[in-house]
Structures are given as structure tokens and as C-alpha cells.
Structure 1
Amino acid sequence: MANQTRLRHCTSKPRVLVVSDISNEPDDAESLVRFLLYGNEFDIQGLVACTSCWMRNNVHPQDMHKIIDAYADVVGNLNAHVHPENQFPTASYLHSIVKSGPAMYGRQALQPNFHLSEGSQLLIDRVDASYDALWVLCWGGTNVLAQALQHIQNTRPKEETAKFCSKLRVYAISDQDDTSHWIRITFPDIFYICSIHAWKEYPMAAWTGISGDLFGPLDDGAPDKTKITKEWLKEHIQVGSYGSVYPDYSFIMEGDTPTFLYLIQNGLGSREHPHWGSWGGRYGLVDLGGSTRHYADVKDEVVGVNSKKAFSSQATVWRWRDAYQDDFAARMQWTLNDDRSKANHAPVVVVNGSTAGPEHLYLEVEAGSEITLDAKRSYDPDGDELSFRWFQYKEPTRTQSEIHWHFVPDLKLEIADGIESSGAMVQVQVPPAELCAVNILTGEALDKGQTLHLILEVKDSGIPSMRTYKRIVLQVTNKTGLGASGKVYETVTEAIENKSG
């Protein structure tokens, strides 16, 4: 049986408040069931029932309570499967933070002298209670947040309003009422992740990569549907007393889930860096000039199950589908009993003496140099065999690029742990300066070049398998000023054409 103190754990938790139009359709209930299974990795600050364009005049907090009641029956089992320092919240606490937002659509809640809803008051209280950021996950409309912001704007000095906004982190599942755009226009400094498209054109949004191919074509059949079908969910998720409150989907499965997959502390993502990518997708700043902190869809290039390359925003989510569905199924097994020998637990990953937690490993590396990355201290708490997969994640480098064109040079990887190779050690050849540390317009050598991202995925042999990651962020340096071309170009197009030629 796994030693509980050797289970994967995190030293800090993001403060999270969920706003959901639960009961509009089954997918919000599905997402809440999954969300609570990751409650040991979050500091849950509130669960607020709201309206949306799909359900304009009613809120249903009672349906949150029903799921928490089911959670109450299994939380003891869940706590046996996680690190002692990362225990799950009690059901009584969760019941106490369920609140209601305005039972009306969108900006109707912003009418003069309209009373502040209990959900909006809770949001204000939770922001004020800490210096740390509050992640507001919007699964429906955003008038709970809008009402809170309007109240703050009307009752506090400008400096205090700015301070309040600086502590907000919003991840919204597109715009589902008429307050979201108002929020981004009125409070542009709020960190705000949201797909942008014409009204209700949701198939265009990145978050539909979670399971949008259940409802219509997605990336020419590139995603594998196997683990999102009703048959798979019945066998792996709708098990036991807690699984019984996970409903069948009507349209797609768990459309709101990417908001918290983004925050799961498995070593892949970094919540303050949306362009890095995670199970919850990848997003980039709309304006690099600083006029807004709105992050919107970007694209990943992924080879699908059909062996074809897909290049889409949805691919930033579905590329991880096997991993997040297996992880969900494994955690659902935790609800069945408190015997750790009868369930799987995630690997713990250490690279070059890094922490064993979700923090990334940052290294400054000279252009053209070679480094060794060693993950041999990684382990599986259940004693399962581990497989190691190293891969370069090029898209984050492209998204952050201001100086370099969208050409991202390859990191050359070579397994370096001998004949009895497990893949736990790899040698990395950093590209030469002319490929990653030269200004493409002026031809001048740069002291600091591109930031390259290398991902280690460690997968265990348990059933269902679980994965943990370590992101190695390589900041290329060029201390000796190599690679200068002396060629000056007037336009980026000219530079690219000469590069390709």
C-alpha cells in the first residue's frame, strides 16, 4: 500500500470561486462532480448559482447541495488517497459556501439601487479576505461578478477599486450573458481568460475541445472520442454512490471543466501564464501593448487519431484528453473505498533536483550548449512501472514571440541513461544563436533569445493510468554575442523570405 506521505502534493492552492448556471443542462452538474474530486488541490472559496442566456430567470443552488450530499458520503475515502497536507474540504464547509446570484438575466442585475446578491457579496468578501488572487470560474453568465464590480466601483475610491481588480483572475466559458463584455471594457486590467467569437458561436471556442466532437465535427476527426462516450462514462465514471450523481450529457460532456483543468497542479501548466498551456487549454494576450489583460484563443498543432495534423484552438484542450479522462476515472475509484492498495495514485516527478511539486524548472542555457536532464529520482507511490516521455512544446514560444518569427528551432533530444534505458535521463542540444538569439530585423545578436519549453510526461502502469508532468523552461542566453548576421530588413516578411531562401 502506498505510503500516504509519499503521495503527490502541492505546497499552495489557488483560491477558487465557481459561478455556475447549474441545471440549465446536465454538463454543469457533471463538471461540479469532477471539480469536487480535485478539491484537495484547490482552496474552494465559494459555489454560486447563476443565470445565463440559457436560463435567464432562475438559479438552482439546491442542485449544488445535492452533489455535495453525495460527496459527503465519500470524502472520508477520498482523504485516504491524498497527501495528509492536501486533504479535501468537509461537506459541511462546502454547504456553507453555496450561494445564489441574481435570479435575472445579465445587466438587469446592474439596475440602480438593485440589491447586491448573496453570491456577489460572497465574491467581494473572498477577494477582500486575502492578498492572494481569487480565481472566478464562470460556467454560465457573469452578472455575479459584474454586480460585485459595480458595487466596488460605486462604493470605493479608484485606488481601492484597482487593488480589488488586481486580485481577480477570471476564466469564463465564452460570454453567456451581456455583462461579460461590459466587464472587460469597464475593467480592462482584470486578468480574464475567455474565448471570443460571434454570439453563441460556441463551436469556435477553445474550450469545446473538452468534448465538442460529441455534438458536431471537430478537427476533421482528429480527437479520439473513446473516453467521452456515454458507454465509457458509464463504465468508468458513473460508479459507486458518488458516480451515481454524474448525469448523462445532453449535448457535450462537461463544457465548463476546462476552467479548473487549467488549475490542476500536475506540473504541466502555470496559472499565471495562460500561453504555456495545460489540460485546460492555452490562451494568449489580445493586446501586447497593455491596454487589456484579456487572454483569448490560440492554436496548437497536434497529430490526431486519424494520423492527420490538426491546427486549432480546440486542440489545446483535446490533445490531453487521454490524460485528463484517465485521471478522472482513477480519482473516481478513490471514492469506492479507503484502501490505497485498491486504487492508483499519480507519479511524483523530480528533475535535476527540482521540487517534487508542480513547480516548473527554469534554466538559463547558452545557445548551442548541451545540457543533461535527469528524472531518475522520480517515483511511483504504488510501485508501478513508469514511462518517461520528453517532448518540446513549441507553441508557447510562438505565442510569446515579439522579436522572432513563428519559426521555433528544434531541441535535439537523446536518451542518455544507458542500455537499460527507462528514458529517465535525456541530453538536450540547445539550438545555435543564429536560430534562436538574433533579432530578425536588425540582425543583431541578443543577450537573451527565445524561451523554449520542454515537457516531461511521466505515466504509470496502474489502471487507470495517471500522469504527472515537469515543465522545463529554457531561457536561451547568448553571452558572447554569437550569430549576428549584419543583415537589416525593413519588414518581417522580407526577413522570413530570406530565411526560408
Structure 2
Amino acid sequence: MVTWRPHHFMLIVCLSVSPILAETTAPLCIPDQAKPRVVVMTDIGGDPDDRQSLVRFLLHSCDLRVEGLCTGFGWGHYDKTRPDLIRDAIEAYGEVLTNLRKHRADYPSAEQLLGLVKDGHNGDAHKVGPGMDSEASDWIIEVVDRADDRPVWFAIWGGPRELAQAIWKVQATRSEAQLAAFRSKIRVHSIADQDRTARWVKQHHPDVFWIFSEKLYQGFYDGGNRELVSPAWIEQHIRGPLRRVYPTEAHKWAGVKEGDTPSFLYLLPNGLSDPEHPEQGNWGGRFARSGKGHEYLPARDILDGQRDLLYTIHRWRPAYQNAFQARLEWSRLPFDQANHEPAAHCNADASLRVLHVATDPGAQVRLSAAGSSDPDEDNLRYRWWTYPEAGSYWAEPEIAGATQPDAVVTVPQDAASRTVHIILEVTDTGNPPLTAYRRVVLQVSGEAVAPPPGLTDDR
């Protein structure tokens, strides 16, 4: 038996009366309600890699509902906040915005982004309490309080002091029920633990959903194919106004570092995962419950037979760097000279959501990418593969037609009561090649079978 539970959430075509789109077919856009709400909290002015990450973030701003760009402090940077550096990057973005909108009409205006720049507390970076409110902490409260059922994701590139102060103020001024409702809308993806306020939140509010990307973020630039993050890559691909605000070197690293970038790549609605499930894994890494409240810590994927922390990110590097290259080209090329992401369909479902399938041991699950398309009419390549670390079944089931639009997965007999994660990659033949994804989670019925000797159930 195979039971499908699709989500009816469709991609839409960007509509615009602007003449800049009149000469070509508009690419697929993401409906606003499908865009994750995000507030960036950056210690920009310290390690230059924050400035690098900000450029990429702006190029992906059409994929997200940006609701705040807040300054603060972090490792080795406790002197003075630098909102001016955010404004410099937005100014450069504004210079290429007209061209970007030839490719995606839903890029936010520079004026809109400038209005979201909020300064953090220029004082003790490790404390919260009376008299320590800031423009940023007050703004965070306003954003979370909005009448929007979606959670607010905080991409924390430095320390979380402004968020912690916001939680403290709500705790001091509202009822327990109101505080609980406020906390329930918060999602955090923090790059390491860069000040002591995170400990305060964990101690007093352990129910806050918090991903700690300790060391895992290094996989964005270390390990894997380093040519894709080299100084030469920067020189070849980053040009024009954006080059002015993208440093070539960062702390102890030459080339693309962007250690903070996984915090928002994790959120991109590209069909690869559901951000509410860090264990699924995506461009921003894979994480597992720590056993303490709603805290998630880095998980390891298997590379060459060994569990490898950084591989959970750098396994995706060709895809996320190709996406970056394409968007850099959007900033300077017309639509018909640039490449755009394909749209991946799975079993007639055109949404971006993860699909869940109830099935049985020994069953054959038929999967189809029919209907997948490319806005540039490029040919498409297909790849169906198993992501064992993301599920609870330890092996890779047989997939017939793994490089074809239609595939058949044979569910192993010993996969009873387990989950099997199947990934569909749809990659176009443009330059650079771009990939869209779908994920199918097979939930297999029956009683659990013990894993083979040497394997455990903690995958």
C-alpha cells in the first residue's frame, strides 16, 4: 500500500507591469506566504566574512521575507556596531536592482531594506536587563508581534544579545501566557555561540527553537572542492558594484569564507527540506536534537565511510555556488543571457513542500518528475537518491530509473517502521547548471527490525 499526502502549494509566475519584463517570459517566483520570515543579526565590522554573507543574502532576498537587518557584537568585535556597512551593501544592491528585477520581479527595493536596518546596543554585549533596550531589540518585539502565523527565523551571525533582550523585556512586561506565545514564534539558527546571552536564553527559556551551528558552518568554505571558494573564483564571478562591498579576504581565510551564510541557506525554499525539521538536512547543514529543550546541534553525514561534520554542508557546494554565480550574473546580464532555476515536480505535485508517503515493506513506490520545467527551456537531468542519514533506515534502497524522470523505489523488507528519505534533483543544462529539489519521505509500516551489527538507531 502506498498513500500520498501532498501539500497543495503551488509555484506562481511573477507578474509585473514593468516594461523590464515585457521582453521575456517571467521566471517562476515564490508566493509570499511560502517565503520564510527572517531577521538577520550581524556583528558586521568584525570578521569581513559578514560583509561577504550580506552580498549573497541580498541576492537571495527575493526568496525570503526580510523583516530586519540588525547590528550587534560577536567574537572579537565588542567595540562599536556598524550599521553603515549594511547600508553600504544595500546601496550597491540598489545600483543593480533594476537588472535583478529583469530576472525576479519580487526583489525588495533598496529603500525597503534600508528601513529594516536597526542598530543594536552599544554597551555590554553579554548582558540583558533594565535600561538595555535598543532599536534592534524593540524592533524584534514588533516583528514577532505581527499578525502573521508564520514563525520568525533569526539568522544570527554574531551574538544573540538583541534577541535575548527582546525576550527579557517581554518576560518583564507580559503574562506567562503572552510570553509563551511570543517564544513559540521564534526560530533561531545561530552561527556558533558568540556571547553569553545565548546561555541566558537556554537557562530561562529552554523551549525556544534553537539551532547551534557550532563548527559545522566551516563546511561552507572548508573541505570539499576549494576551487569553488578560492580568491580566483571571486575575481572571475563577482563584478560591478557588488564587488565593491565583497571583501576578498576574511579572518584567517583568503577567498569565499561566508561562515554565516548557512544560517539563511538553511531557509531557502528550494524543495530540499522543511526548516522545521533540522534533521532533514539541506544547504545549511543537518542537525539533531540535543535532548535539552528545543536545542539542535550539528549532525554528521558519512563521507568515504566516516562520519564527517563539514560534509553536511560542503556536499552541496557545487549547487549553492552555482546558484550564487547565476544571481551575480542576474545583476548585470539580460534575462536571455543568464540561467534560472528549473521547477521540480513530483508525482503531479508542484509545491515546494516535503512529500510524505505511507508504504509497506517490499512495496514498490513509483515516483515521477513529469511536469518539471525550465524557464530557459534548457534540457533537464534527473537524479533520484537516498539520504540515509536523514532517515531512520540505515541502507540505500534500490531505485530503478535513478537518472530518469520516472523512478521506482523498492522498499526493503527490513525497513519496517523506518523512514527513508528520497531526494529528487532536477538540474538544467544552462551555464552554470542550476538545481531544484524535491524530498519524499517514505514512512514504512510494520514492526521495527534491529539494525545490522555495528549500526545503531541514532542515525
TM-score by length of 2: 0.89
2:281 maps to 1:277: yes
Of residues 24, 28, 35 in structure 2, which corresponds to 1:7? 28
Q: Separation in 2 of the partners of 1:146 and 1:324?
A: 31
Query: 1:37·1:332 contact (CA, 8 Å) conserved in 2?
Result: yes
Judged with a 3 Å threshold, the aligned counterparts in structure 2 of structure 1 residues 469 and 8 are, in CA distance, closer, same or farther, namely farther
TM-score by length of 1: 0.82
Q: Separation in 1 of the partners of 2:395 and 2:316?
A: 23
Amino acid corresponding to residue 168 of structure 1 in structure 2: I
Q: Separation in 2 of the partners of 1:333 and 1:207?
A: 26
- Pairwise CA distance, 1:54: 1.3
Judged with a 3 Å threshold, the aligned counterparts in structure 2 of structure 1 residues 381 and 497 are, in CA distance, closer, same or farther, namely closer
- Pairwise CA distance, 1:244: 2.9
Q: Which residue of 2 aligns with 1:78?
A: 100
2:136 maps to 1:150: no
Of residues 125, 130, 137 in structure 1, which corresponds to 2:142? 125
Which of the two has higher C-alpha Rg? 1
Q: Separation in 2 of the partners of 1:361 and 1:195?
A: 26
Q: Separation in 2 of the partners of 1:80 and 1:258?
A: 27
Query: 2:421·2:439 contact (CA, 8 Å) conserved in 1?
Result: yes
Q: Deviations over 1:48-82 (max 9, x none)?
A: 01012311131000000000011111122112212
Amino acid corresponding to residue 99 of structure 2 in structure 1: N
Q: Which residue of 2 aligns with 1:89?
A: 108
Query: 1:397·1:450 contact (CA, 8 Å) conserved in 2?
Result: yes
Q: Which residue of 2 aligns with 1:208?
A: 218
Judged with a 3 Å threshold, the aligned counterparts in structure 2 of structure 1 residues 387 and 8 are, in CA distance, closer, same or farther, namely farther
Q: Separation in 2 of the partners of 1:370 and 1:8?
A: 34
Q: Deviations over 1:136-185 (max 9, x none)?
A: 11100111111111111111111111110000000000101111111111
Structure 2 segments unaligned to the other structure (5+ residues): 1-22
1:27-42 to structure 2, matched below 5 A, reads 27-42=49-64
Of residues 356, 374, 378 in structure 2, which corresponds to 1:380? 374
1:38-57 to structure 2, matched below 5 A, reads 38-57=60-79
Q: Which residue of 2 aligns with 1:265?
A: 269
Amino acid corresponding to residue 361 of structure 2 in structure 1: A
Q: Which residue of 1 aligns with 2:239?
A: 239
1:181-196 to structure 2, matched below 5 A, reads 181-196=199-214
Q: Which residue of 2 aligns with 1:445?
A: none
Query: 1:47·1:99 contact (CA, 8 Å) conserved in 2?
Result: yes
Of residues 390, 399, 415 in structure 2, which corresponds to 1:436? 415
Residue 41 of structure 1 aligns to a residue whose secondary structure is coil
Judged with a 3 Å threshold, the aligned counterparts in structure 2 of structure 1 residues 497 and 107 are, in CA distance, closer, same or farther, namely closer
Instruction: State the aligned residue count.
Output: 428
- Pairwise CA distance, 1:311: 2.0
Q: Deviations over 1:455-493 (max 9, x none)?
A: 011111111111101111111124xxxx788xxxxxx89
- Pairwise CA distance, 1:497: 7.3
Q: Which residue of 2 aligns with 1:297?
A: 298
Q: Which residue of 2 aligns with 1:444?
A: none
Amino acid corresponding to residue 119 of structure 1 in structure 2: A
2:454 maps to 1:468: no
Q: Separation in 2 of the partners of 1:361 and 1:188?
A: 30
Amino acid corresponding to residue 376 of structure 2 in structure 1: D
Cα RMSD, aligned residues only: 2.0
Amino acid corresponding to residue 244 of structure 2 in structure 1: S
Higher relative contact order (CA 8 A, sep 6+): 2
Q: Percent identity, aligned pairs only?
A: 35
Mean Cα deviation higher: 239-248 or 142-151:
239-248
Query: 2:348·2:370 contact (CA, 8 Å) conserved in 1?
Result: no
Q: Separation in 2 of the partners of 1:234 and 1:49?
A: 28
Judged with a 3 Å threshold, the aligned counterparts in structure 2 of structure 1 residues 358 and 258 are, in CA distance, closer, same or farther, namely same
Q: Which residue of 1 aligns with 2:152?
A: 134
Query: 2:39·2:152 contact (CA, 8 Å) conserved in 1?
Result: yes
Amino acid corresponding to residue 412 of structure 2 in structure 1: P
Amino acid corresponding to residue 427 of structure 2 in structure 1: K
Of residues 74, 98, 103 in structure 1, which corresponds to 2:117? 98
Q: Deviations over 1:319-374 (max 9, x none)?
A: 1011100110001100004x21010000111111012x321222111221112111
Q: Separation in 2 of the partners of 1:498 and 1:24?
A: 43
Q: Separation in 2 of the partners of 1:195 and 1:375?
A: 33
- Pairwise CA distance, 1:2: 5.6
Query: 2:189·2:213 contact (CA, 8 Å) conserved in 1?
Result: no
2:131 maps to 1:114: yes
Q: Which residue of 2 aligns with 1:392?
A: 386
Residue 263 of structure 2 aligns to a residue whose secondary structure is helix
Of residues 342, 361, 365 in structure 2, which corresponds to 1:367? 361
Q: Which residue of 1 aligns with 2:8?
A: none
Q: Separation in 1 of the partners of 2:77 and 2:455?
A: 55
- Pairwise CA distance, 1:397: 1.3
- Pairwise CA distance, 1:496: 4.2
Q: Which residue of 2 aligns with 1:419?
A: none
Query: 2:378·2:430 contact (CA, 8 Å) conserved in 1?
Result: yes
Q: Which residue of 2 aligns with 1:321?
A: 317
Amino acid corresponding to residue 233 of structure 2 in structure 1: W
Q: Separation in 2 of the partners of 1:375 and 1:319?
A: 23
Query: 2:418·2:448 contact (CA, 8 Å) conserved in 1?
Result: no
- Pairwise CA distance, 1:242: 2.2
- Pairwise CA distance, 1:9: 3.1
Query: 1:415·1:423 contact (CA, 8 Å) conserved in 2?
Result: yes
Mean Cα deviation higher: 359-368 or 152-161:
359-368
Amino acid corresponding to residue 372 of structure 1 in structure 2: R
Q: Which residue of 2 aligns with 1:225?
A: 226
Q: Separation in 1 of the partners of 2:89 and 2:454?
A: 58
Judged with a 3 Å threshold, the aligned counterparts in structure 2 of structure 1 residues 497 and 172 are, in CA distance, closer, same or farther, namely closer
Q: Separation in 2 of the partners of 1:105 and 1:160?
A: 28
Residue 260 of structure 2 aligns to a residue whose secondary structure is coil
Q: Which residue of 1 aligns with 2:16?
A: none
Q: Which residue of 1 aligns with 2:349?
A: 354
2:340 maps to 1:340: no
Query: 1:53·1:105 contact (CA, 8 Å) conserved in 2?
Result: no
Q: Separation in 2 of the partners of 1:267 and 1:119?
A: 32
